[in-house]
Structure 1
Amino acid sequence: MVTYNDNSSAGNSSLTSLDSRSLIPATVLSICFLLGFLGNIAVMILKPNWENMSSLSQSLMLNLAVSDLLCMLTIPVWTYSYLNSWTFGVEVCKLVTYLGYCSVYGSLLTVTAMSIQRYLQVVHFERRLHEVEAWQLLVPLWLVSTILSIPVLVVRNLDDDQHWIRCKAHYSSEGQRIAMVFTGFLTGFVAVFVIAFSYISLYRKVNRAAFFNNPQTTRLIISIVGTVFVLWVPCLVMNIVEIAAVSLHNNPVMKFCEDTWNAFASVTFVNSAVNPLMYAFTSNHLFTLCQKSAKYLMEKFRILQKLPELSDITAETAQ
């Protein structure tokens, strides 16, 4: 067990560390915990307006709440460590970080799967999705999340920064650091791109049915896409900056990335806190809209297919 050395010099260092590196993420995480913990518990218990959803949609929504709740449960440990130094030992450092990464990846991949599901149902009239069992999607999803998080167990360790113990990454080489940062960047970039593409395509398709076009749908889709961009793009940009700094051996920029990473990373926890508001409690309207618009567009498509047949029949009758 690593203990915190309580002396005057350590106190001054602790105060400096608290002011410059820890206060902002600790504050953000505390707010996220209050909102996200209660919100995801409410989703799991109340299951708001899920009666109109398919079993697959309900399973994805429940899985999103579970992954977000798991993410929320790691927050008290991080908040305490930001304010009081890390006192839990290297094993807990690795475990808590691993659980945090798994939950964040699980949440992001679940939202991506939900966006693809809605896109296929509305844009491509894919009805066979109802035949897919939830475990066939959720098991690979969590398997990918656990695999992507494994490198954290290798690089995470304790660092004594002037008597202020931190749980942070220790890389054995520049190549290892670039590989791990790039993996996180690539995963996040692909997920954000797929989510944005799916909802924008869905919105365009739905708007072709004029009577479905309404401000509520517009606000909901804009809020989903906008929130994903606002909460994930800053971290993706920081990943690019860090990769460039390591590649160019720019020590000042690398130091800046290390000092500000906690603040940027804490913003991603906001995603797990606001997901209940964006998906569980409000997106039932979008699910219903998708179902109605898909039926309308499919019926319209069938009518257009029948028009040439009717023309042929009319021509034959006239002859």
Structure 2
Amino acid sequence: MNSTTEEYSYNDADSSYEDILKLHTEDTHPEHCREAACIITAILNVIIFLLGITGNGAVIWIAGFKVKKSVNTTWYLSLALSDFLFCSTIPFIIVRTVINHWIFGLVMCKFTSFAMFLNMYSSIFILIVISVDRCVTVKFPVWAQNRRTVTKASAVVVLVWLMSAFLSIPAFRFREIHISPTNAIQCVNKYEHHHTTIVLIRFICGFLIPFLSICICYSILICKLRVNQLSKSTKPYKIMTLLITIFFLCWLPYHIVSIIELNQSKHGHNLDIAQQVTATLASSNSFLNPFLYAFMAKDLKKKLCSFLSKIESAIDEETRSAFRGTSITNSGDHRFSTAV
């Protein structure tokens, strides 16, 4: 993800990346990272990469191979895969930040941007799916017990990834190579007259509609649980609440700055630092999720020493307590348990 989201125009628009590189290599002397904001951004990205690869790799291993496959582990495995994919592209961004020069070619320029928004859309869509899934298991427990299967969950995940990839196409399509005034090759967005449309679609589909959908689902869920006192374990709901809260705190500033940028002529160069900060904050969401699983454990003193076991415990509890205590009474006598 390139933290700079400005639009550029250049005379070499019809040239290939190789032609641009050939024309400018000899005279390219970009200024390396010296400003405090640049150095801090690079350091934070290194931390995000290391923690993101380690944490999400652990979740993928545990959810994919260590615990029993279930609908819940399918959701969290998808989240971890999305975050892991994005974190794997961060080294390219670190190098670009440090040397202030894009050396990885046009394809990787496009792919890193695509991976960022694929991660954004797939993460929020899975959070919506989980929220709806929670509502269904509470309001229709018997139906959920009979129809809620890993195969169907996997099909939903595939659909989510296809939708996310489709909405991320503009990030690939409009990412281009640009020669800066200092003769450095930069990987930037060249939206032209599509800029407003793309930013608004991202905000509406990647933030506003998901936020409203999740709020509605959780309002229904909380009311149902309070009235019937169905849930004995609140940990799964605490984990989901934290996942959703962290996602919106990480991504809301990015969307705000993107919308402000639409009127950049009034703000000029002042948005550069804001773009770097909010883009890095958005990236941080990719390493926070697995740590939420571990830190939700009760034994706070041992969480650093038993990180992997706590992730496994949190994910496994999702499987065991999704339906635990969820019951309905039929004709006053028949109680149905929907424990998975």
**Shorter-chain-normalised TM-score: which range?**
0.7 to 0.9
Identity of matched residues, %:
22
* TM-score normalised by structure 2 residue count: 0.72
Contact kept? 2:174, 2:190, Cα under 8 Å: yes
SS at 2:286 equivalent: helix
Aligned partner (choices 181, 202, 216) of residue 199 of structure 2: 181
> Following TM superposition, by how much is the alpha carbon of 1:219 offset from its aligned partner in structure 2, in angstroms?
4.8
Contact kept? 1:25, 1:262, Cα under 8 Å: yes
> Following TM superposition, by how much is the alpha carbon of 1:82 offset from its aligned partner in structure 2, in angstroms?
0.8
Equivalent position of 1:109 in the other structure: 125
SS at 2:168 equivalent: helix
Distance in 1 (alpha carbons) for counterparts of 2:226 and 2:122: 31
Is structure 2 residue 83 aligned with structure 1 residue 83?
A: no
> Following TM superposition, by how much is the alpha carbon of 1:279 offset from its aligned partner in structure 2, in angstroms?
5.0
Gaps of 5+ in 2: 1-17, 295-310, 335-340
Contact kept? 2:175, 2:189, Cα under 8 Å: yes
1:149-164 aligned at under 5 Å gives the runs: 149-161=168-180, 162-164=182-184
> Following TM superposition, by how much is the alpha carbon of 1:91 offset from its aligned partner in structure 2, in angstroms?
2.4
Amino acid at match of 2:135: Y
Aligned partner (choices 230, 233, 253) of residue 252 of structure 2: 233
> Following TM superposition, by how much is the alpha carbon of 1:76 offset from its aligned partner in structure 2, in angstroms?
0.6
Contact kept? 2:178, 2:187, Cα under 8 Å: yes
| C-alpha spacing 1:62/1:216, structure 2 compared with 1 (3 Å) | closer
Which segments of structure 1 move beyond 6 Å, counting only runs of 4 or more? 3-7
Is structure 2 residue 279 aligned with structure 1 residue 271?
A: no
| C-alpha spacing 1:118/1:92, structure 2 compared with 1 (3 Å) | same
Equivalent position of 1:43 in the other structure: 59
Distance in 2 (alpha carbons) for counterparts of 1:191 and 1:234: 16
Q: Deviations over 1:52-97 (max 9, x none)?
A: x63x323222222211111110011111111112111222211222
Contact kept? 2:86, 2:286, Cα under 8 Å: yes
Q: Deviations over 1:37-65 (max 9, x none)?
A: 011111122239843x63x3232222222
Is structure 2 residue 185 aligned with structure 1 residue 165?
A: yes
Is structure 2 residue 266 aligned with structure 1 residue 252?
A: yes
| C-alpha spacing 1:134/1:222, structure 2 compared with 1 (3 Å) | closer
Equivalent position of 1:294 in the other structure: 326
> Following TM superposition, by how much is the alpha carbon of 1:215 offset from its aligned partner in structure 2, in angstroms?
7.3
Q: Deviations over 1:134-189 (max 9, x none)?
A: 3421222111111111112221112222233321101222xx00011111111222
Distance in 2 (alpha carbons) for counterparts of 1:222 and 1:286: 13
Matched residue count: 289
Contact kept? 1:14, 1:164, Cα under 8 Å: no
Contact kept? 1:29, 1:75, Cα under 8 Å: yes
Which structure has greater helix proportion? Answer: 1
Distance in 2 (alpha carbons) for counterparts of 1:106 and 1:131: 18
Amino acid at match of 2:324: K
Contact kept? 2:175, 2:188, Cα under 8 Å: yes
Amino acid at match of 1:163: N
Amino acid at match of 1:226: T
Distance in 2 (alpha carbons) for counterparts of 1:199 and 1:227: 16
Gaps of 5+ in 1: 307-319
